[in-house]
Amino acid sequence: MSHNQQKTEFEEEGAPKSALRGHEVIKGYLEQLDTSPGVYRMLDASGGVLYVGKARQLRNRVSSYARPTGHSARIGRMISATASMMFLTTRTETEALLLEQNLIKQLKPRYNVLLRDDKSFPSILVTTEHGFPQIKKHRGARREKGKYFGPFASIGAVNRTLAQLERVFLLRNCSDAEFEGRTRACLQYQIKRCSGPCVGHISADEYGASVAEGLDFLGGKSSDIQQRLALEMRGASENMEYEKAGAIRDRLAAMAQVQVSQGVNPAGVAQADVIALHQDGGQACVQVFFIRANQNWGNRAYYPRTGGSADAAEILEAFMVQFYDNKPPPPLILLSEAVERPELLEEAFSAKTSRKVALLVPQRGEKKELVDNALRNAREALARKLAETASQARLLEGLAKAFNLSATPKRIEIYDNSHIQGAHAVGAMVVAGPEGWMKSSYRKFNIKGEGITPGDDFGMMKEVLTRRFHRLVKEDPDRDKGMWPDLLLIDGGAGQVSAVRGVMTEMGVEGIAMVGVAKGVDRDAGKEEFHVSGQRPFALPYRDPVLYFVQRLRDEAHRFAIGTHRAKRSKAIGATPLDGVPGVGAKRKRALLAHFGSAKAASRADLADLKAVEGVSDKMAETIYSYFHENG
């Protein structure tokens, strides 16, 4: 995409030449603008981006900000802080819409509606590369060949559906490598969750029929499958094949359980997202329900940053463009509120998916019931969120008082390490703030220090904090991006606090409170000792809510550290010498293991044997042979 950029004084000189602010400085730009579509940025005196907006006609939109009156409180504050502007013209308003939202995600302006949690959604994948297809959960880019079904609202929803599908259709969930290496059926077969194709308990044709049924079910054809299974069960019973009839009965019960767990299953809506917005107390909640194959595949609540007074149409438009930035929209999107330019969004979404996408605010019928259900969920979720935020604010105030902080902390970073006698050591950082856990800010650190002796917790904590603050100093030297903590909680006593304090002193970092949380003499919850530099260790009253709050903070850091350590250890346990060979990926690795029986045997094989492996070229065989015999 090419854009014509009209540079402002700020962009050319590095600072605005005029001391004007607000509508007066905005008025000065009108002569430079025409009726082209495009994107504008409003900047404060230091060059920080206040707001990013799009316009069908830049001059007309910017002229509305040049008026001294008639603005909402939010827009009025934004205008009064504006010291300069920047402009990008585009060919169409659709391009302007997409560019606007890309800039919003990148720059996170203070006065824009911002979707703060936009993780990818999990799906179910049925692979197609193998003779006996695998069914599994998937998240991220859809690079693997197969048929994808989703999105589901959560991994929990995927796991529940997968478990029931395994019971109904007896499809395997093991990896191809596990499948090829089995000599007898696994536990999944024993508990009737798999038909045992790995050891020949079912033919390829019979298994293929089960896969086809599973695909039909995920595609919404459950009633046809249920009728077919019911006929099979009746026939088996009449032929006195009671064991077969009982197995079919169990499959029908499992299928019914899937449908019950999905809740609302609309008959007249095959594929749609239902998006409902509720606002209260200056905050907003957007509920998204996923309807696929006439089934409810779950819902998720979002709490976009709105600037305090954005209207419903603006919030929904910004939410949808950011929400569908990394995922395909369905053919139908049902909304609780109308947006200002629905045809613009329809055009952008249709171009993204190469098929028609429609927006609809239903007024009656089943679609209206779906929206009303989503709206009720949004209202209830926001009420819970507001109550939790108020409780969190009280706890943060209590924390500031208990630790004698100069102000209520807005960002708390909690650190912990995990290892087994120094092996697979990792450090973990979790973050909490006024709205609870800030999971997008969590970080894990693989301990790299060669000079650290096994089990040296002081050395590990020192390395983690050194790397953390080295990056902070580099990425946010002016401390104006909200990335710096107000309080550090360290798992440990005076030694850990002293080590971290040394790191801070070496790096010239000041103004950050630090507290060590030690388990106390009996290592019991409720008897924690708190360590602050220059003070004697102290404790909090046993039933103090702040004490429970600190325990939750520490336990979350411990949970995250343990999970990271276990993942690293599992990866190391599953590693083989073949992992380091250039050009040997998962497919070749499976072929080598299947041919030689083990990675050790493959590493000792001669060149002729390596060339005999299916899928391994002569050149690759030479690479493998050289890797083990010249480097070993």
pLDDT of residue 608: 86
258-304: pLDDT as tens digits:
555 555 567 788 889 999 999 987 889 999 999 887 778 888 899 99
Structure tokens at 37: 């579509």
Using a pLDDT cut of 90, give the percent of the chain over it.
29
E runs forming strands in 140-216: 146-149
CA distance 556 to 564: 12
Sorted by where each starts, the structural domains of the chain and their CATH numbers stand as 4-107 (3.40.1440.10), 123-261 (no CATH), 271-383 (3.30.420.10), 412-571 (3.30.420.340), 577-630 (1.10.150.20)
The 3-state DSSP class for residue 409 equals coil
If pLDDT is split at 50, 70 and 90, which confidence band does 2 have? very low
Contacts with 513 (C-beta within 8 Å, 6 or more apart), sequence order: 403, 405, 406, 409, 486, 487, 488
Cβ atoms of 254 and 167 within 8 Å: the answer is yes
- 462 pLDDT exceeds 70? yes
Structure tokens at 2: 């090419």
DSSP letter for 305, please. B
- 18 pLDDT exceeds 60? no
584 vs 92, residue with greater confidence: 92
- 582 pLDDT exceeds 70? yes
CA distance 523 to 72: 55
CA distance 527 to 524: 6
pTM for the full predicted model:
0.69
pLDDT of residue 335: 97
pLDDT of residue 5: 42
Helices in 298-405 by DSSP H: which ranges? Answer: 312-323, 342-353, 365-402
Alpha-carbon dihedral angle through residues 86, 88, 92, 96, given to the nearest 10 degrees: -60
